Structure 1
Amino acid sequence: MTARWSDPGCVTVAEGVHRIPLQMPSDGLRAINVYALETDSGIALVDGGWRRPGTYDEFALALAAIGRQPAEVHDIYVTHVHRDHYTFAVELRRRHGARIHLGSAERPGLLAVGALGSNVPESSLRELLRAGAADLATAVRSDTLDEPFDPLDWELPDSWMDAGPLAVPEHRLVAVHTPGHTKGHMVFHDLDRGLTFTGDHVLPTITPSIGFELGDWDLPLGRYLRSLETMLDDRDRTVLPAHGETGVGLHQRVRALLAHHDRRLEATRAVVSEAGPCTGAAVARRLPWTRRDTPFAELGTFDRMIAVCETLAHLDVAVDRGTVNVVSRDGIDLFSVR
């Protein structure tokens, strides 16, 4: 058993299901949980991890703890297309022929990454401009242009998944489309073990970023909230998240996330009511961030971008619900209370 959820190793969470935290470079999340599912023909994975120089050796050492090796991985079911979930899957396919499966609604985003040929989050920068944060957009572009980018990390999967049963031997898994974090995010219910592999859709202690992907901004928070609500329509299960400890009940955590966003929507509207017509960036600067209520000014550049986009996502839902008004002037949205 590891001391912290993110420590390297291999933790058995159910019969035939093992959690392998793979380390992430320079990232506040510290690690991503990759789940190894034992089958009659080897190993299937849920999520692939972030490819970095030491990831393969780390993964091999973890599998050795259960008497397995990377060459036994035959299929990888990726919850969404972010690099901490996808890029190591591509390396495992290159080395051992493992098949990669990705939600069909992720196809436009994956193709856009390949066409862009860099790590610059162009769609998020577009939203920063709409939020009146042009200086922040410039800073983010400068930082991300310097990041290494390998187009081989973003090869297409072997198949595009739709919602429904998955053909995983000895595991009755069902894929559910849960847009919001990305358009094609999937979670996987294990019908026999009472588990749900939630990717970034449901995390045990934090809320995922919303709409962080290339492509059109299509009310991502609204989609996320509806996707959360669908989790309450089925039986309760145990959350196996991409980041954090396992063990929390799915329904309990979903209700907590829905309540959090209700509070955040009210806090966002209160700032708009007090400040008068204001930009999304101005609202973000007045709100606390993270579980520690960190002031906006103390966030790093990338996290300030996420914060402004999160604020826009809440403002857009408030506009959609009719509790906040918006007008656009020279490409910048100004929000006010009706």
Structure 2
Amino acid sequence: MRREAFEQPSDWTEPGAHPVATGVYRIPLPLPLSGLSAVNAYAVESADGVVLIDPGWASTENERILGEALRSIGYRFADISCCLATHHHWDHYTQAYAWRERFGVELFTGRGERFSIETYERQSGRFPNHPELLYRCGADDLASRLANDYLSPEYEVDVPFGSPDGWLDDGQRIQLSGGELDVFATPGHTRGHVVFRHREAGILFSGDHVLSTITPSLGFELAPEPHPLRSFLASLRLLLAQPDGLLLPAHGHVVASTHARVDELLQHHRQRLEDVRVLVHSGATTAYEVARELPWTRRNRRLESLAVEHQMSAVMEIEAHLDVLAVHGRVRAEETPSLRRYLVA
């Protein structure tokens, strides 16, 4: 049954603890990123205090704003019973990781995140596996730039990161003061992404799996899975099989219907698949060639105008779409030791 949220500020990034449902608060937190200014953390009352979902990017400023928001609803850091991260990206995970030793707060995330978390080495950079993948996509120059020239920005240096206290599995339940959180594995954005459904409140904490106005990147992680779009589409359909309810995304405003937004994302990818197929029929043969012909972001930018890591993400996203088209026989894949080409089926 669809539920109506408590009234929210018109600007979703406005600081504070904004009630969404009884015992559930949305807390926007600042990010040091260009193009993405905030992340929604969620405080959910439990029998042992408060559960925090995706409590932000570790920084003094993040902790100050989050502390003020918690105090406004009667809680302190000592009242946090545990932290849940929908995935391992730093804007969701690192503040909770920093608190493990300081406050003894346990951190949990999806089991599939171990592939990227446990192989992370600072000296190897954030994308050590992607140059080889990009070469196979025909993006030789981009692969070379990523391998030789790409440096992590200053705000990523010394961010606390490592393994959680435990892994979450699909079907697991987390006890609250007024019900439970159901854990659903939703791979795609990352291979271990999870979402949390509060059945009693009729709400879904969707992380980056379903966002209110933008489509999430696919496989944007240290060790991406081989077929992220296949997984993402299956994960979207999984949500349609659950009762509809409020969507509480990690970025953006609260949405009244999870199902309506999921339908929009499925339609977006149906159109994207058709756009990619048409370009292959027009002569493009690699993911890089297709990506160069498509518009990117809501501003319809050219691929070459994007930052290096966003170009990487765009090319890998197109490779994922070509993979799905090949599985369904709408294009034909040809493999060589160094290159994957796609032709008219």
TM-score, normalization by structure 1 = 0.93
Identity score, percent: 39
- Structure 1 residue 234, shift from structure 2 partner: 1.3
- 1:135 and 2:136 correspond: no
Amino acid at match of 2:264: A
Amino acid at match of 1:227: S
Equivalence for 1:299: 306
- 1:74 and 2:81 correspond: yes
Q: Encode CA deviations 1:179-214: one digit per residue, 9 max, x unaligned.
A: 111111111110100000001111111111111122
Change (3 A) 1:183 1:145: same
Matches within 5 A, 1:176-191: 176-191=184-199
Contact 2:190 2:224 in 1 (8 A): no
Equivalence for 2:246: 238
> Distance in 2 between the 1:248 and 1:288 partners?
29
Change (3 A) 1:245 1:119: farther
User: Which secondary structure state, in structure 1, belongs to the residue aligned with residue 88 of structure 2?
Assistant: coil
Contact 1:17 1:37 in 2 (8 A): yes
Q: Encode CA deviations 1:43-100: one digit per residue, 9 max, x unaligned.
A: 1111121112421112112222222222211201111111111101112222211111
Change (3 A) 1:266 1:225: same
Matches within 5 A, 1:1-338: 2-113=9-120, 115=121, 117-141=123-147, 142-145=149-152, 147=154, 148-150=156-158, 153-164=160-171, 165-215=173-223, 217-276=225-284, 278-338=285-345
Contact 2:52 2:83 in 1 (8 A): yes
> Distance in 2 between the 1:291 and 1:54 partners?
29
> Distance in 2 between the 1:40 and 1:235 partners?
25
> Distance in 2 between the 1:108 and 1:301 partners?
23
Amino acid at match of 2:133: E
Q: Name stretches of at least 5 consecutive residues in structure 1 with no aligned partner.
A: none
User: Which secondary structure state, in structure 1, belongs to the residue aligned with residue 150 of structure 2?
Assistant: helix
> Distance in 2 between the 1:334 and 1:93 partners?
46
Contact 1:124 1:212 in 2 (8 A): no
User: Which secondary structure state, in structure 2, belongs to the residue aligned with residue 138 of structure 1?
Assistant: helix
Change (3 A) 1:130 1:116: farther
> Distance in 1 between the 2:207 and 2:157 partners?
24
> Distance in 2 between the 1:145 and 1:233 partners?
40
Contact 2:110 2:193 in 1 (8 A): yes
> Distance in 2 between the 1:138 and 1:52 partners?
32
Contact 2:206 2:249 in 1 (8 A): yes
User: Which secondary structure state, in structure 2, belongs to the residue aligned with residue 74 of structure 1?
Assistant: strand
Contact 1:123 1:213 in 2 (8 A): no
> Distance in 2 between the 1:19 and 1:57 partners?
16
> Distance in 2 between the 1:35 and 1:47 partners?
7
Change (3 A) 1:144 1:120: farther
Q: How many residues align?
A: 335
> Distance in 1 between the 2:103 and 2:247 partners?
30
> Distance in 1 between the 2:212 and 2:153 partners?
32
- Structure 1 residue 170, shift from structure 2 partner: 2.7
Contact 1:173 1:189 in 2 (8 A): yes
Give the superposed CA RMSD.
1.8
TM-score, normalization by structure 2 = 0.91
- Structure 1 residue 259, shift from structure 2 partner: 0.6
